[in-house]
Amino acid sequence: MFLGNNQQLASKVSSAIEDWTPSEAYGHESKFQNELQEYLDQRLNSGNDMMLGPTEEIVVEREHGNVNGDVVVNGDIGIEMKRDLSNSQTKKLRGQIEEYQKEYTHVIALACGIDDMDGWRKLKNDYENQMGMGMDPDAAPVKFIHKKKTNYGEGASADQYNRADGSGPTGDGFEELASVVEDGVRGYQSLTGDGTMESGKATAAVAKAVFVVGFVLVLLVYVFITFM
């Protein structure tokens, strides 16, 4: 299994999921999965990623592959979702992660609400830090993401993004730019010790904000010179 080709996309998927929270506390896990699939499809195919630029269409499917990942991106990034993760689900999730590692190049364990926090933390310790710790070097890396129920409805939603083919809902370009700059500020605060963003995500957010602000300034200078 070669992981390198999918690392950039895996990071993009992880970042997108971290920005998302369910719009409501659904009574069935499948509704969480449907909302996540719609959101990822819109966001990953929006064509609005200024750092990565336009790419090919990204396929976001439900229950794809030999192990039937809840949501799968491009057939290689498997997402297993749990609603109100319980002790019994934690034990099941361990086995699912190991199966996913054989099927996909990257694995994301996503909990929408957690009842068994101790079990969740143990899984994170066992799998998120396995690289370089004597574990199988070819095992797919695992990312753990937790969505707190108190935050439902406050994250990004699918209707904020336009598909690259123009079939998605209309978005507000100014809001997109403002969001990038805001993330950059939060990233800078985290890098200087005043924020909670992970260092890798913070660095990427700052770099993206600097790029966007620089691009806008160059564009304004060009317009000023052209029309003066």
pLDDT at 64: 72
Check whether 59 has a pLDDT greater than 60: yes
- What are 138-186's pLDDT values in tens digits? 678 999 999 999 999 888 888 877 666 555 544 445 556 766 777 777 7
Please report how many Cα atoms fall inside a 13 Å half-sphere around the Cα of residue 106, on the Cβ side. 21
Q: Which CATH number fits domain 4-160: 1.10.3470, 3.40.1350, 3.40.50, 1.10.760?
A: 3.40.1350
Give the pLDDT confidence of 13-42 residue by residue, as tens digits: 999 999 999 999 999 999 999 999 999 999
99-128 tens-digit pLDDT: 999 999 999 999 999 999 999 999 999 998
| pLDDT at 10 > cutoff 50 | yes
Q: H-helix or E-strand containing 62?
A: strand 60-64
Distance CA 10, CA 105 (A): 9
Give the angle 83-89-95 at the CA atoms, nearest 5°: 125
The side-by-side arrangement of strands in the sheet containing 69-73 is 60-64, 69-73, 77-85, 106-114, 142-147
Three-state secondary structure along 63-115?
EECCCCEEEEECCCEEEEEEEEECHHHHHHHHHHHHHHHHHCCEEEEEEEEEC
